Structure 1
Amino acid sequence: MSADVRERPGPSVARRLGRFAVRALEAELRIYANIGRFLARRPAIAPGAAGFGYHRPVLTVLVVFIVLSAVEIPVLDLIVHRWPAVRIPVLVLGIWGLTWMFGLLCGFLMRPHTVGPDGIRVREGLETDIPLSWHDVASVARERRVDEPKTPRITGSDGARTLSLRMQDETVIVIELERPTAVRLPGSPPKGGEQVVDEVRIWVDDPIAFMAAVRRFI
């Protein structure tokens, strides 16, 4: 007598799928929250803090994608309008894709880096949001660095670990920390989750204004 034995996903696979689903849902909700902030003109900046954009290197690319997506919707609709079974899903996917791209752009615009009484808040896109209090910060300096493409976000040298939030492989500000500090990144280890770093490098569109704001507190 034979039995039909089927393999089931192990607990680790199930957990990974669950985390992926939760992360995807959170990203989707952030898209609409960012669009709402954009329409209300309410960037995510705490009272008394100043915001500093980091979107200039990717702004043109995002705008081009949004324009192409907007043009693509009526073109595809014209092509498939005779087949309702195809037309409706294509239309829904097109509108969803356009909304997602616009929400991503709003995320860059509405979630800037901030400098304020509580410290520096480092951000990137939809998910990355790292608060660094002034007690954690040893120094802040302008230092332009261009890394090789596909260089990992976290790199190590002489026992120190650096988190680099690059724009087109570049950073212009280095934040040295007083001690190894735990920060939380999107995703799961080893690339995401809680990571301990000694310095953080970021891109800022206006590093002069950023440093001027830092000097008010440090």
Structure 2
Amino acid sequence: MRTVSVLLRHELRLLVSLWLWITRRAQRADGERAFGYGRGQGAMMAGLVFVCVIETLTMSVLLRDWPTVHGIVLALDVYTVVFVVGMHAAFAVRPHLLAADALRVRRGVHVDLHIPLEQVASVRRELRMTHERTDGELNLPVGSQTTVTLQLSEPVIHFTALGRQREVGTVRFHADDADTLVAAIKQARTVPSTSPAPPE
């Protein structure tokens, strides 16, 4: 039942993302800077949607003499198109977010990792095209590449798509403008505290 519940929440988030994309809104709060990561996947997603539409039209012609089967296949094909567009929409409306005290690393509806900036030991621009699954590391490639690497002073908890917990101390992810994001994180980490100094 837990798996079914997780999958239903996933589908609901895709539909919400699609609605936000259509209405040109993004999921972020005031004071947060947004950094996109899905620019490189636009052409691939458009191509995938095109293939799905062609398949839908082809199957409609082939199954026109079997109305029941045609209806089932048509519903599945339409759902597939909505699913693919929803994935692209989720990338667009759920960007990485940088606040004064934390970074939220996201990837569509699958990942939303909250990282306090005080736990960021180092951040660098690093292009990687291959990633191996390793304990304590979280790799979030887009188009098979990551461009930013975070080393944490202490691990944070990452929840997988099915709700399992993992402790991660290294996070690699993609950002369309990695240089600007890295510079912004470094600047946010070095901003002096505004709390009053203790009396002498």
Q: Deviations over 1:131-181 (max 9, x none)?
A: 111222222211222325xx22xx14xxxx222212244222111212133
Q: Deviations over 1:83-141 (max 9, x none)?
A: 21122111111111111111011011111111122311011122211011122222221
Map 1:110-125 onto structure 2 (within 5 A).
110-125=93-108
Q: Equivalents in 1 of 2:168, 2:59: separation in Å?
A: 48
Whichever residue aligns with residue 163 of structure 1, its letter is L
Whichever residue aligns with residue 134 of structure 1, its letter is L
Partner of 2:120: 137
Partner of 1:203: 174
Partner of 2:77: 94
Shift of 1:187: 2.2
Shift of 1:207: 0.7
Partner of 1:60: 43
For structure 1, list consecutive stretches of 5 or more residues without a partner in the other structure: 1-17
Map 1:51-200 onto structure 2 (within 5 A).
51-148=34-131, 151-152=132-133, 155-156=134-135, 161-187=136-162, 193-200=164-171
Equivalent residues of 1:54, 1:205 under 8 A apart: yes
SS at match of 1:135: helix
Whichever residue aligns with residue 102 of structure 1, its letter is V
Shift of 1:194: 1.4
- Percent identity of the aligned residues? 27
Equivalent residues of 2:101, 2:188 under 8 A apart: no
Whichever residue aligns with residue 185 of structure 2, its letter is V
Equivalent residues of 2:101, 2:118 under 8 A apart: no
TM-score normalized with structure 1 length: 0.79
Q: Equivalents in 2 of 1:128, 1:201: separation in Å?
A: 13
Aligned length: 189
RMSD of the alignment, in Å?
1.8
For structure 2, list consecutive stretches of 5 or more residues without a partner in the other structure: 190-200
Whichever residue aligns with residue 137 of structure 2, its letter is T
Whichever residue aligns with residue 141 of structure 2, its letter is R
TM-score normalized with structure 2 length: 0.86
Task: Evaluate the alpha carbon distance shift between residue 64 and residue 138 of structure 1 in structure 2; reply closer, same or farther with a 3 A threshold.
Answer: same
Q: Equivalents in 2 of 1:213, 1:206: separation in Å?
A: 11
Q: Equivalents in 1 of 2:90, 2:76: separation in Å?
A: 21
